Structures are given as structure tokens and as C-alpha cells.
């Protein structure tokens, strides 16, 4: 009896011990499974942005290496193909710069808990290798960056006294580099938290941004959430200058839009978007601004040329300096040159800054040389509110060089040479040199006024040749040169109407 009792006690004890073991085991399993769940956070790992190539470079080789290192450390990664499809589907063209909205899409479309963006800051694959990477881990639930790390390793950071196992290629850096890079990466990230910003604005178009009093301001906004029909839609109102303007969908349902007339007062007015969700939560943010311009610009023209009798003359180039009396940014400018027949021979303009100076070389917009004559230059500017101001100035274009008419009269014992200028532009200076047959300088005459008569003390022998070199320059810088081989021939030909040679090129040797 006592033996049976003790056997029962032993059995009961055994059962208790088994039960305890089972309990402990299940507790351990529960702990391990919890830990398993905790570490099973999926990561969408994006291809590496490689700044050593260009601002939008991609490094596929290192992307695969980092991916392998992450897998080696037990991370659960979204398949690379799915990540690539996500990039293509959402038209994401630049790496390493995901927006909060794109991060939230990753959660929705890829089911990832975390996003890992990486950047190659520096890389060198020589015998003195260098590698530096930057990692940013974001949480998709609230789009916040939860961990970031920059790691760098240069070959000389690893060289030893004896030179054993010194790195000589990039691969030699990998082991210590990745160990250090991932050393502080959290095993488990708390997936709670609230987003930093709720206003998921895709695009804002305010037009015009600069306007006149009474003109209509149009505001078009595209929200990311509008594309997501399942998401609760907020009521959206735009506030500007103390007035509220409800946003309504446009015809295509792509944008939300509203418009209102601008007030009479000058100034810059901020546009605030106020969103109120069905839950009662409201949020507002400034989405842009517009400016009302009440002042008209006033432009003046200053021409740098030669002034004669109150008119501006030029021969080779005219410098035009436009000035705004009250400096302000302009949206565009235009210059026109009108000829005597009221035809525009030059039309040029551009948007943006007004040029500090313009040089007109007397050419038409088609590239040809404009004929001599009077021209009217008009410079027009438009400010950012499209208010216009013009200034006009008249100029005379005189590109012709002085045309000196030479008349030779022979007397009994002397030769008289008459010089006259047939062009209206006043002469700045002239000189004439007369040479005998043997090259002897007979006379050198110079002056600043024409007409003039020069008397040569030479035998009026028609067989004797007198050479004349003649130069004249007008006040605009136009210059003419003549080389008359024989003055008497000129005289005879003038009488008989025969041809004679007047060389217009410079032949005198210095």
C-alpha cells in the first residue's frame, strides 16, 4: 500500500516536472517567436546614389554588395525587382531623395516597414582604395528618418608597420568597412510615431505671381491624397489677405482650383492652404504668394555716340544704355530699330534681366549692313505685372568714309590742287603728300577743314609725274585714303573723260 502510494507520488511528481518543462519550453518558444516577429521588419533597400559619378549617378555593383551584406546580417529585404518596379511605376528619377509621400507609398505598395537609402560619397578603386557611404533608414509608418550613418575607410587607415595584409584593392576594405557601417544599425525599430507633416501637396500653381490691382489670381493645387480614393479626403480652403476661397476640382479632376480678384493695395500676400479632415483634425501651411504691383516702370535711354547739333551720330558702333528710373525686377525687354521708311530693321528681346548695355553695329537683324540714314531706337520693358514702359531716341548712322574730290588746275608756273569733301560729316583731319618722279617729297599739307586749295611750286610739264597720297578722317572715325599716281593724268582725264587710276588702298611704306 505504502509502495503504491510512493509510486503515485513519484508519477505525480514526474507529471508536474513534465508540465513545468512544457511550460518553460512554450515560454521560450513564445519569447523566441516574439523576437522573431520583432526582427522581421522588412526593408525596401534602394539602389545606391553614386555622387562620385554625378548628382544622379547609380552604382549597381556596390548596391548588390550592400544588399548581400544586409542579407548576411539577417535583414529581410523587399526583392530588388519590386523596388525597381516601384521606382519606374512612380517615375522616381533621382535616388537618395525620397519624399515623405513616396516613403508612405512604399509602405502601401511594397509593404515595407523601413526604407534604406544609400549614397556613395567617395569611392576609389585604385591600389590606394577609398570608400565612403552614407545610409539613411526611414520608417514608412511616419516617414521619419530613424537611423543614419556615414562610414569611410581609406587604405592608409589600415596600413600596419610590417605591411602585412595592407589593403591594395577596394575589396580589401569591405570586411572592416561593412562591420563598422552596420555596427549601430538598429535590430528593431519602433514602428509607431506620427508623421512630421500631413499636408501631402504634390503641385502648387499660382498664376500670375505678379499682377495689377483687380486682376484675377488663380491657385491650382494637386494633392497626393486625391489620387488615393480610399484615403479620407480633407476639406480644402485657400486663405489669402484674410479672405477664404474654397477649392473645387477642375474639369479633369486632376487639380483643385480657385481664383479671386486682387486687391487695390500694393504688396505681397501669402496664400495659405487649410485642410480639415473628417476626423476634425485640421492643418494649414503656406503654399505660395502673389504680389500686386501698382507702379509702372519708367525706362530711359542713354546713347553713347558723337553728338552734333543735338543729334547722336555713329559710324561703327552705338552703345545703348537703358536705365530704369525706379529699379525693379522686369519680366522681359525688347529693342527695335526703325528706319526712315518706318520699317523695323532690328528686333531683339529676351526675358529676365535687363541688359546693362547694348551695342548696335549698324547691322540689321538679318545680318546685313544698314544703309546710312536716320534711325529711331525704341527700348521697351515689361515689369513682372506686365506693365510696359518705352523710351525712344533718334540716331544718324553714317558709315561712309569722307569722299575727297581732287581737282587739278595748271597755271603757267604752278599747279593748283583743289580738295573738297562731298560727304556731310565734318572732317576731323586730312593730309596730302605730293612726291616727284624721283620720290622726292614736294609738299606735305595738312588741315582740319575742307575745301582747300593747295599750290605746288612745280613745273606744269605734262610729262612730269606728280604722285599724291591723300588721307582724310571724319569726326566719326571714318577714314579714306587715295593714292593718285599722276596728278596731271587726273587733270587730263578730267578734261578728256579718259579713265585714270585712283588706288584706294594704303601703299605708303613706313
Partner 1 sequence: MKYWTRLSLIFFLFLLAGCAKEVPIIQKLAPLPAQGSCKIAVLPLINKISFPQGGAIVNKILLSELVATGRFQVFPEGDILEIYQQLLIYPLQQPNREQLEMIGGRLTPDLFLGGTILKMYEKKHADYVDTEITFVLDLYDGKSGQLLWSTYHRRLGSEYQQIMHLGRINSITALARRMSQEIIADWLEQGMIPCPE
Shortest separation between residue 103's beta carbon and partner 1, angstroms: 7
Distance CA 73, CA 501 (A): 98
Give the one residue of 1, 2, 4, 54 binding partner 1; rule: CB under 8 A. Answer: 54
Which range in 136-144, 308-316, 321-329, 486-494 contacts partner 1 by CB under 8 A? 136-144
Q: How many CB atoms lie within 10 A of CB 78?
A: 22
Burial class (CB in 10 A: 0-12, 13-18, 19+), 400: middle
Residue 212 CA: distances (Å) to CA of 130, 269, 292, 334, 447: 58, 13, 6, 21, 62
Residue 218 φ then ψ, to 5°: -115, 135
Task: Note whether 140 binds partner 1 by CB under 8 A.
Answer: no
For partner 1, the closer CB: 27 or 286: 286
Which range in 144-152, 342-350, 444-452, 453-461 contacts partner 1 by CB under 8 A? 144-152
Count residues binding partner 1 (CB under 8 A). Answer: 50
Site string for partner 1, 402-441 (x = CB under 8 A): ----------------------------------------
Task: Note whether 216 binds partner 1 by CB under 8 A.
Answer: no
Task: Note whether 119 binds partner 1 by CB under 8 A.
Answer: yes
Give the one residue of 138, 336, 425, 491 binding partner 1; rule: CB under 8 A. Answer: 138
Q: How many CB atoms lie within 10 A of CB 130?
A: 19
Which range in 90-98, 365-373, 396-404, 440-448 contacts partner 1 by CB under 8 A? 90-98
For partner 1, the closer CB: 4 or 160: 160
Task: Note whether 218 binds partner 1 by CB under 8 A.
Answer: no
Q: How many helices (H) and strands (E) does the chain have?
A: 6, 33
Shortest separation between residue 130's beta carbon and partner 1, angstroms: 6
Residue 497 CA: distances (Å) to CA of 140, 197, 321, 345, 421: 100, 96, 51, 41, 21
DSSP state of 490: H
Task: Note whether 97 binds partner 1 by CB under 8 A.
Answer: yes
H/E element, 111: none
Exposure string for 214-226, b = 16+ CB within 10 A, e = fewer? eeebebbbbbbbb
Task: Note whether 51 binds partner 1 by CB under 8 A.
Answer: yes
Task: Note whether 136 binds partner 1 by CB under 8 A.
Answer: yes
Q: Which of 177, 188, 144 is nearest to 65 (CA)?
A: 177
Q: How many CB atoms lie within 10 A of CB 387?
A: 18
Positions that interact with partner 1 (CB under 8 A): 51-52, 54-55, 96-100, 102-103, 119, 121-122, 128, 130, 132, 134-136, 138, 143-150, 152, 154, 156-157, 159, 184, 196-197, 199, 201, 203-204, 268, 270, 272, 284-289
Amino acid at each position: 500500500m505504502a509502495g503504491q502510494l510512493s509510486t503515485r507520488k513519484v508519477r505525480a511528481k514526474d507529471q508536474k516536472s513534465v508540465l513545468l518543462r512544457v511550460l518553460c519550453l512554450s515560454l521560450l518558444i513564445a519569447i523566441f517567436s516574439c523576437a522573431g516577429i520583432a526582427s522581421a521588419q522588412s526593408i525596401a533597400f534602394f539602389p545606391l546614389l553614386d555622387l562620385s559619378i554625378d548628382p544622379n549617378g547609380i552604382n549597381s555593383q556596390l548596391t548588390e554588395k550592400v544588399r548581400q551584406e544586409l542579407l548576411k546580417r539577417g535583414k529581410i529585404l523587399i526583392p530588388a525587382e519590386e523596388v525597381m518596379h516601384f521606382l519606374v511605376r512612380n517615375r522616381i528619377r533621382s535616388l537618395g531623395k525620397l519624399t515623405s509621400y513616396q516613403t508612405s507609398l512604399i509602405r502601401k505598395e511594397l509593404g515595407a516597414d523601413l526604407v534604406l537609402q544609400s549614397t556613395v560619397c567617395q569611392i576609389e578603386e585604385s591600389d590606394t582604395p577609398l570608400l565612403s557611404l552614407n545610409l539613411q533608414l526611414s520608417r514608412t509608418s511616419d516617414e521619419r528618418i530613424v537611423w543614419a550613418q556615414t562610414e569611410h575607410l581609406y587604405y592608409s587607415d589600415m596600413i600596419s608597420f610590417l605591411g602585412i595584409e595592407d589593403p591594395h584593392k577596394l575589396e580589401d576594405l569591405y570586411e572592416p568597412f561593412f562591420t563598422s557601417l552596420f555596427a549601430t544599425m538598429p535590430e528593431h525599430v519602433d514602428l509607431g510615431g506620427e508623421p512630421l507633416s500631413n499636408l501631402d501637396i504634390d503641385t502648387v500653381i499660382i498664376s500670375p505671381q505678379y499682377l495689377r490691382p483687380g486682376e484675377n489670381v488663380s491657385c491650382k493645387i494637386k494633392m497626393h491624397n486625391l489620387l488615393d480614393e480610399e484615403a479620407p479626403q480633407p476639406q480644402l480652403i485657400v486663405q489669402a489677405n484674410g479672405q477664404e476661397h474654397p477649392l473645387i476640382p477642375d474639369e479633369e479632376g486632376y487639380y483643385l482650383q480657385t481664383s479671386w480678384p486682387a486687391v487695390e493695395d500694393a504688396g505681397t500676400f501669402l496664400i495659405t492652404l487649410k485642410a480639415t479632415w473628417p476626423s476634425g483634425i485640421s492643418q494649414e501651411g503656406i503654399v505660395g504668394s502673389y504680389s500686386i504691383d501698382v507702379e509702372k516702370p519708367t525706362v530711359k535711354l542713354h546713347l553713347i555716340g558723337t553728338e552734333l547739333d543735338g543729334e547722336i551720330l555713329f559710324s561703327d558702333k552705338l552703345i545703348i544704355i537703358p536705365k530704369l528710373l525706379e529699379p525693379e525686377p522686369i519680366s522681359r525687354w525688347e529693342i527695335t530699330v526703325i528706319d526712315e521708311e518706318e520699317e523695323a530693321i532690328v528686333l531683339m528681346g529676351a526675358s529676365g534681366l535687363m541688359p546693362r548695355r547694348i551695342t548696335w553695329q549698324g547691322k540689321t537683324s538679318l545680318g546685313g549692313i544698314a544703309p546710312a540714314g536716320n534711325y529711331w531706337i525704341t527700348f521697351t520693358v515689361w515689369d513682372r505685372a506686365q506693365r510696359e514702359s518705352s523710351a525712344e531716341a533718334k540716331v544718324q548712322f553714317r558709315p561712309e568714309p569722307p569722299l575727297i574730290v581732287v581737282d587739278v588746275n595748271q597755271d603757267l608756273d604752278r599747279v593748283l590742287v583743289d580738295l573738297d569733301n562731298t560727304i556731310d560729316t565734318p572732317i576731323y583731319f586730312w593730309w596730302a603728300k605730293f612726291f616727284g618722279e624721283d620720290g622726292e617729297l614736294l609738299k606735305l599739307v595738312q588741315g582740319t577743314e575742307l575745301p582747300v586749295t593747295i599750290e605746288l611750286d612745280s613745273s606744269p610739264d605734262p610729262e612730269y609725274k606728280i604722285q599724291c597720297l591723300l588721307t582724310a578722317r571724319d569726326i566719326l572715325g571714318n577714314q579714306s585714303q587715295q593714292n593718285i599716281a599722276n596728278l596731271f593724268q587726273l587733270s587730263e582725264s578730267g578734261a578728256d573723260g579718259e579713265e585714270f587710276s585712283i588706288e584706294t588702298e594704303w601703299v605708303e611704306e613706313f
